[in-house]
Amino acid sequence: MAIANPCLPWLALLTVACLIWGLYLSLFASPADYQQSETVRIMYVHVPSAWMALFIYSVMAIASLVAVIWRHPLAEIAAQASAPIGAAFTFCALVTGSLWGKPMWGTWWVWDARLTSVLILFFIYLAHMALTSAFDDPARGRRAAAILCLVGFVNVPIIKFSVEWWNTLHQPASVLKLGGPSIHADMLWPLLIMALAFKLIYLCLLIVRMRNELMAARVRNLTAARARG
Amino acid sequence: MVIATSSFWSMGGYAGFIWPSYLIVGLVIAGLLILSLSKGRSLKKRLALLEQLKEKKD
Amino acid sequence: MGRKQRRLIIIALSALCLAAAAALVMLAFRDNIVFFFGPTEIKEGKVQPGKRIKIGGLVVEGSVVKAGEKVSFSITDGSENVDISYVGILPDLFREGQGIVAEGVLNQNLAFTASEVLAKHDENYMPSEVADALKKSGHWKEGEEQ
């Protein structure tokens, strides 16, 4: 954290620059799709949100593993600070997907394997947040949440491969697949820049939220010390 | 300017789906950022106060 | 054995059990989580007529007949075809050659009456100009097995 704090303003600057560039590419400097026409632009926020939903959960799972085995306090705090960010991105992925699905598929929502497993991920995030704050002793709450996070990790490969294992309405992967992406470079670039911007947003939010948790822990300690006399 | 043209804002008839998508993502992320920053500020104040009290006692 | 190692082993073992359980559950559900049936499965009699189901396939080129709100078309999976009739608004992605999923009822002579038609999008994204150029030069969907 000692290195992270002085970096934060520069990181924030980089994030804003990357976001502006990504928005420019995705809203102005990219072509309409041959099938979906302009609605392809929803993909530039939908897909990065969905990637972040999975990425943040994976980070939390690694942090939880480190927390449970080595009892590293910073790992527990990283997992706790990540959960609301992951929930926010999952929510964004669900809502933007719905807004794309209505005009293109003809429905806001279907219960196919991909959509359902992402909804489950959203609920796991919410459960993680609830469990963290459910105990009077914050250390016990974090431990319980870490176990939930590790158990819930089975859902991550299910989400990733759901479009291949089952007949889903949701289309298969376009970027991360064998044989190279089936997406034109003019559309791949805005997608990748937006994905980078979202990663940077996560990093900034994570630093701010971890700093908050560390301060909250010190406030708790000082308050407890005062109560003792 | 490109922005001035109404064809940009109408998004080929899909304006009602594209703009809400960007708006919702923007609001959710901005909301989380504002919430986190304001919590940080209030914690900082609280911590400064507690540390001041501690120093007085010592 | 240290406490850390013990925790590591316990976690590894539980992860293994969990993965095995998940794999078994998925194997068991393999046929039940299917979002839709294909024309071949319909013709093979895997679906009872009269039951509400979803079927999916590619819209056969030249099969779409529109009369006001009434639409009839066939879908195919390459080997078998199923005729579908539908009354209502079609999604924007609906066109000949496009994958669709329809929900409705199969009748005795294996024709399908749909109450809802959803368009399935494929994983290909390209600008309209590029698609037109590909079609013109005859390289359209080259190397794709059908």
Report whether pLDDT(B42) > 50: yes
Q: Which of residues 92-121 of A touch C (CB under 8 A)?
A: 103-107, 110, 112-113
Question: Tokens 């909804």 correspond to what residue?
Answer: A119
Band of pLDDT at residue C140, cut at 50, 70 and 90: low
Measure the CA–CA gap between A139 and A62, rounded to whole angstroms.
18
Say how many residues make up chain A. 229
The domains of chain C are located at: 1-33, 39-119
What is the tally of structural domains in chain A? Answer: 1
Least confident of A128-132, A184-188, B2-6: B2-6
Report whether pLDDT(A57) > 80: yes
The percentage of chain B sitting over the pLDDT mark of 70, rounded to a whole number, equals: 90
> Cβ of B22 under 8 Å from any chain A Cβ?
yes
CB–CB contact B47 A215 (8 Å): yes
- Distance in Å, alpha carbon of A49 to nearest chain B alpha carbon: 9
Check: CB of residue C60 under 8 Å from CB of residue C75.
yes
Backbone angles phi, psi at C70, to 5 degrees: -85, 130
Q: Average model confidence (pLDDT) for chain B?
A: 88
> Cβ of A7 under 8 Å from any chain B Cβ?
no
Residue-wise pLDDT tens digits, A14-53 = 999 999 999 999 998 888 888 888 899 999 999 999 999 9
Given this model, what pLDDT does residue C29 score? 65
Question: Tokens 């980089």 correspond to what residue?
Answer: A14
Q: Average model confidence (pLDDT) for chain A?
A: 91
CB–CB contact C121 A113 (8 Å): no
Residue in A41, A201, A216 nearest the CB of B43: A216
* A27 found inside a domain: no
pTM given for the model: 0.86
Q: The complex's ipTM?
A: 0.89
In CATH terms, is domain C39-119 a member of 2.40.50.140? yes
The domains of chain B are located at: 17-57
> What is the number of other CB atoms lying within 10 angstroms of the CB of residue C95?
14
Q: Average model confidence (pLDDT) for chain C?
A: 80
Given this model, what pLDDT does residue C141 score? 55
- Domain of residue A108, residue span: 41-166+205-228
Choose from A63-72, C18-27, C107-116, C133-142 the range with maximum mean pLDDT: A63-72
* Cα angle, residue A166 at apex, residues A164 and A167 outer, rounded to 5°: 100
